[in-house]
Amino acid sequence: MNNEIRILIEKYLEFILASKNLSENTCKSYENDLLEYVKFFKNKNILDLHKNRIELYLKYLSENFSVRTHCRKISSVKNFYKFLCEKKFLKLNIFSNIDFPRTTKSIPKVLTKGEILELIKISYEDKTFKGLRLSLMIELLYATGIRVSEMVSLKISDITQGCSEIIITSKGNKERVLPLLSHVQKSLV
């Protein structure tokens, strides 16, 4: 790979890590997408590509990846070119008019209220520490609607004094405070 391109990719990754508050995994995915993009064009200078070459790449994506992956890869490259134009490394963003493929949204499968209550009831049958912990986690998920990833990253310090509220840190390090129902408060104590 051309050393100039490698340096530009590194600058872009530093920029998004610092300014977009993205996770390390997201940045790694962007890096992999960009390296794959560069590799696709072999020894061609990606700063000097024409629309017909881009169409070959888009065709490759549509034939080899799911729509969601295809969209992420386009997003990675599109944002990279946007960065290059903003920082004056390029005059024209050849990806500015590229559209994303249509995605279909699937409705998530959810448990009924009865199934959840049965799950909670069964979880309380296990009186060990792990069983009680599982019961509390199920109660927290059901009572607050938090994501599993948010729940497993909770710390004791995220529970307010008196166990009346929890502080949830969401994607992008955004915090929100959620009240806890009395039966969840009792489970915490």
Mean pLDDT per block of 10 residues along the chain (189 residues) reads 83 86 83 91 75 84 88 89 89 79 77 89 90 87 86 87 85 83 75
Q: Which two tokens stand for residue 127?
A: 């009186």
Q: How many CB atoms lie within 10 A of CB 95?
A: 21
Residues 36 and 59: their CA atoms lie apart, in Å, by 14
Cα pseudo-dihedral 27, 28, 29, 30, rounded to 10: 50
The pLDDT of residue 33:
93
Contact 34, 71 (CB under 8 A): no
pLDDT at residue 1, rounded to an integer? 60
30-35-38 Cα angle (round to 5): 125
The answer for residues whose C-beta is within 8 angstroms of residue 61's C-beta and 6 or more apart is: 69, 70, 73, 74
pTM listed for this prediction: 0.57
The pLDDT score that the predictor gives to residue 31 is 92
User: Could you tell me which residues come within 8 angstroms of residue 109 by beta carbon, excluding any fewer than 6 positions away?
Assistant: none
